[in-house]
Amino acid sequence: MTSGMSRIQKLAASSAFLAFLTLASLPGQASPLPNNALPDLVEKILPSVVNISSTTVTDVRVFGMEEFFQFWGVPQEYPQTSLGTGFILDKDGFVMTNAHVVEHATEVMVTLNDKREFAAKIVGKDQKLDLAILQIRDKDRKVPANLVPSTFGDSNSVRIAESVFAVGNPMGLGHTVTMGIISAKNRTIGVGPFDNFLQTDASINPGNSGGPLFNLKGEVIGINTVIYSRVGQSGGLGFAIPSISATQVIPDLKRYGRVPRPWLGVLARELSPGLVRHYRIPVDKGVLVYNLVRGAPAVEAGIKQGDIIVGMDQTAVGNPDELERALASRKPNESAKLKIKRGNRSIELNVKFEELPRLDNLPKGII
């Protein structure tokens, strides 16, 4: 009996060892970390992550009541503070975060892992991708010493079920580390035209926005941005902007303070089966133009209300997001040929693009 048990134990141990070797040798699969490797890695990257506090002043003045409020000492402006996370890009003091973390902020403060605090200037924002770049300076307007920059990894090579960890400032609890896996890639969740999120079950809560999602090499592969939750806290559904999307816009945000993108100047919606049936539309996929901005490139090109955009050059478009992504591959002042369905006719119109104006001055959903 003892001999039989010994053979079973040996067989089990041998099988476990072979399974370990198989997993460790899978292509693209990271070898299991030694016991102390993850704490050592986290200790190394923590100085690259920052806490962000932004203050927005809300005007609550009521017309005709200013003297009354002044007499009774009632404040007519209220400061509101929001918390977020960011990470250091380089030794010049540039920091990346989400645009919504610093939206309408009148003051932004950045706190490093060593508790040093610095005022930050908003260098550039891209609301469509929800990214922003800040720059920190000390009281002498010099770049702070001993900054530890983050390193970007390749989000395209990330695999589903790969282990990752997030570092952030949830509920004001700075430099909190949570771990999980990549649950899915290329997620479209209806947040914006460039949805292409990495989904993770690493715990992400309010205050994590703008913080890094790391792989087990300590590389930033995503920027934590959105959570899906019925209670406003982590439900295991967190979404991060892929690092490849972030690195593409950094040069423009530093140089121009924005990402120069072309626009058409149309308000549009996706064709639905109900619209197709009711109006007897001859196509079942396309972008229905229901309004135009006066003087915009679309008007100059001859696009009319009721036109259905079905393609741009050689790219077919079936919804507004696809149209925006096609536009994003172009630059202002370039031209393209739009394929239009107008009634029962198929036409082509040449459009010369212009740069998208400030989003503050445009209707929501403009393309």
Q: How many CA atoms lie within 13 A of 238 on its CB side?
A: 33
Write out the chain's pLDDT in tens, 367 residues: 344 444 434 434 444 434 433 334 444 444 556 778 999 999 999 999 999 999 876 665 566 666 666 666 666 566 778 899 999 999 999 999 999 999 988 999 999 999 999 999 999 999 889 999 999 999 999 999 999 999 999 999 999 999 999 999 998 898 999 999 999 999 988 888 888 999 999 999 999 999 999 999 999 999 999 988 776 667 779 999 999 999 999 999 999 999 999 999 999 999 999 988 988 888 999 999 999 999 999 999 999 999 999 999 999 999 998 999 899 889 999 999 999 999 999 999 999 999 988 766 667 778 9
In the chain the domains, ranked by start, together with CATH numbers, are 48-74+82-137 (2.40.10.10), 155-255 (2.40.10.10), 262-361 (2.30.42.10)
Q: Is 100 a catalytic residue?
A: yes
One-letter amino acid at 183 equals S
- Are the beta carbons of 299 and 272 closer than 8 angstroms? no
Q: Is 278 a catalytic residue?
A: no
Q: Is 140 a catalytic residue?
A: no
Closest listed residue to residue 332, CA positions, set 241, 272, 259:
259
pTM for the full predicted model: 0.79
Dihedral in degrees, nearest 10, Cα atoms 136, 89, 214, 125:
70
Q: Which of 53, 54, 100, 203 is catalytic?
A: 100
Q: Which of 48, 82, 130, 183 is catalytic?
A: 130
Q: Which of 209, 234, 243, 307 is catalytic?
A: 209
Backbone dihedral angles phi then psi of residue 281, each to the nearest 5 degrees: -75, 135
